[in-house]
Chain A
């Protein structure tokens, strides 16, 4: 019996974004999404917008969206905690169909979660009524398309939790 490697590779994620005509990735780097950086910068159809603090991302995305573009946000779960008022005022209140890719720091499928960043994030998303999907491997990447379609259909933010570190 062999053990199959279960890894999420950056091309799988970027392919989903390109396929769905995403135009901008508004982001602040984190360890869960670190390996995407070089591929993101090399992808000509995606414009990377780096920020200093995560709460900027929803506002920048709102401006891009209302101006006719299709952005996503890529930050860590710790950044979601910092971004509460932006998510409220410039995500939920204005019905922005924003997909937020969120590095799921501290997540463990083994049920022992010592990191409070992981313990709180799903509760916070529930409190806001933001639906979310978990991706861990390349096979899960299609859930990004599902999230993008759902955000557009419902005109609401949708989250995608990146529950593993990317493969190189």
Chain B
């Protein structure tokens, strides 16, 4: 299994101008993308509106077809919006890379198992939905050696990551807050992209 922080570090190191939409554990302020990002201005974090990162990323990918968009999704999150796999594959943005951080639990609510943990076939679901390519990485070495091939494939690409659960039990109001709010990111990204 891959540590959450190792996964976001590798993904960030391969971004090369890509926009990143992280949610749930991939957006955790202690061990997610915010701790390692090399291009905060090009990040569009999503907290709240759980499950909609892939939909948000789809819109962004359609609006910015010349720039790669990485969605860093959670398994519990995607389960809430599973139809999005078909919606996304149907529009088939060549520039969209959908990473699934599969830790098998609702990590931000105390670690309760998600339905189908350990038995759902995520790669099979993405293939059946119509993604152009599907990759799966079970450990850090696999990810380190294979990520270039995944990012060279034409999208939409689904990249399944087997990630260690890192569970938070602290009530939400006592957790550290991100230095950059979702509202701020939405305000600033159009300026960064030069579309406003």
Which of A's residues lie within 8 Å of B, judged by CB? 24, 26, 47, 49-53, 55-56, 58-69, 71, 85-86, 88-90, 93-96
Contacts and interface: CB of A to CB of B under 8 A. Distances in A.
Interface residues of B, number: 33
Nearest to B59: A63
Contacts of A89: 48-49, 52
B49 A85 contact: yes
A85 B50 contact: yes
Contacts, number: 109
Contacts of B186: 62, 66, 94-96
24 contacts: A49-B91, A52-B86, A55-B51, A55-B81, A56-B81, A59-B56, A61-B59, A63-B59, A63-B60, A63-B61, A64-B59, A66-B60, A66-B63, A67-B63, A67-B190, A67-B193, A67-B195, A68-B195, A68-B196, A69-B59, A86-B52, A94-B186, A95-B183, A95-B187
Contact of A93 (B56, B57, B60, B183): B183
B13 interface: no
Given A59-B52, A66-B190, A95-B183, A71 B59 contact: yes
Contacts of A95: 183, 186-187
A61 B55 CA distance: 9
B133 interface: no
B172 to A, nearest CB: 14
Given A56-B52, A90-B56, A68 B84 contact: no
Residue in B21, B87, B182 with the greatest tally of chain A CB atoms within 10 Å? B87
B62 A49 contact: yes
Interface string B125-152: 0000000000000000000000000000
A50 B58 contact: no
Nearest to A85: B49
B84 to A, nearest CB: 6
Contacts of B195: 67-68
Given A56-B87, A68-B64, A63 B55 contact: yes
B62 A67 contact: yes
B83 interface: yes
B58 A94 contact: no
A88 B196 CA distance: 24
A64 B48 contact: no
B28 to A, nearest CB: 18
Contacts of B114: none
B192 to A, nearest CB: 10
